Chains A and B, each alone.
Chain A
Amino acid sequence: MESKTLHPAGLTADMTTIELMAEPLRAGGWLVSEAYAPPARRPRTRGAPPLVRRLLIASAVAYFALVVLTPLVAVFYEAFRKGAEFYLASLSEPDALAAVRLTLILALIAVPLNLVFGVAAAWAIAKFEFRGKSLLVSLIDLPFAVSPVIAGLIYVLMFGLQGWLGPWLSAHGIKVIFALPGLALATIFVTVPFVARELIPLMESQGKDEEEAALVLGASGWQTFRRVTLPNIKWGLVYGAILCNARAMGEFGAVSVVSGHIRGETNTMPLQVEILYNEYNFVAAFAVASLLALLALVTLVVKTIVEARTHEVSAR
């Protein structure tokens, strides 16, 4: 049977935990459509009268426009309030550039590490049976359920001056909190689940047959992974990586707690937005914010492309 058990939330039946915290970007998404194509739409014979239908559409679109669209438009409007020149000037401030650089560095640390973690976790969970598996899956999802503030706090308690390892670290001249390592840890924490979350159901649905076939044909473990597993999960990897990246670059609460807000040094882009805003430098704040909004839009575009792409692959 190629068919896969789905339950109404569009998830595989064996997904047991809070993974749904990550769901918005995925539930309507490609994993579901790959395994299960919704029945072909038939023209409606009956149903709501046209007037009611139009009313429903109008109110849904109005709500969407009010809640989602206006804030998005406002970001760009406010950013360009004083013209393009001021906009560009705000972005080329040294502090703004430093924030962009730091944000990129954090993403470059967090995304690859969580990619490796996601592949390892998904390999163990999807391809093998072992005791405590569902507990492990819940643990992976845990960072989604924890308030970002707490994600920052725990590292302050570990590595801060009053923390467990604080005295030892400061005696050795190592700075974790209010420095890059702390920011990296907080960023990794909040993005731990993204890739694993994407790969586990995908690899479970693909089963072990192809890997076994490769092994029977004489492939080594590494060859099997490289030539069979990796090509099969590549879109899942891309998908997980974009979501992971979006969150890594946009995280606010967790990094805010461990950052110390040192200008030009420990300010990420979202923190730079906060500082500028609190200084009533609104236009500059929105200019930096517009970059982050752009990132969000690009993320949604890539996500849509990947979804279309996987539709194509599964329809091929």
Chain B
Amino acid sequence: MIWDWSYAWEVLPVLGDAAIVTIKATVVGYLFALVGGLILALMRRSPTRALAWPAAFLVEFVRSTPLLVQLFFLFFGLPELGIRLSPFATGVVGLGLHFSTYTSEVYRSGIDGVARGQWEGAKALNFSTYRCYRAVVLPQAIPPIVPVLGNYLLTMFKDSTLLSAIAVMELLQVAKILGSDTFRYMEPLTIVGVFFIVMSVVSATGISWLERKLNPRRSA
């Protein structure tokens, strides 16, 4: 028989611990990407070139190179610069940075969608740039982009498996180790697959709840 239930039950707790690592890496990386993307989007819109150009360069550079290469680069490169991070921290920074560049484009589209009259209204009331974004622009820019931002949470869950390449004890890495110890790959890998399906459903449900909450039906 290909599938061995007793072995599946045996590895489940080990994979459960690994799933916690996957969830932590994804959630922390996602928060990094949400904040980092916003910062990059605002820097890119700044009239100050010393802010706008580095942000534009970083976004284009990071978007056009593979995440796996970036992870290796951070994993092997940072220690040479004297920055010692755990594999987990390196992975979170890599994931967060990579997806910051994607979310920055999403924020940009949301901000571009705010009517010009709103900016002018804010200016006529003498709002500072900070107050204009904080009180007027972002509250209107973000609700419509929640579904797209949410999609990146799903993508990041799946891409967190790349962290296995830099020795983070996340799900795929642990499943591989279990498999190579026992030569049974079917059970751990299937459990890993099921976990990702469950996480996708949970995230998608959470996001659509948030979307409904933030975008109530308007009467006009």
- A and B together in one complex: no
A residues in contact (CB < 8 Å) with B:
none
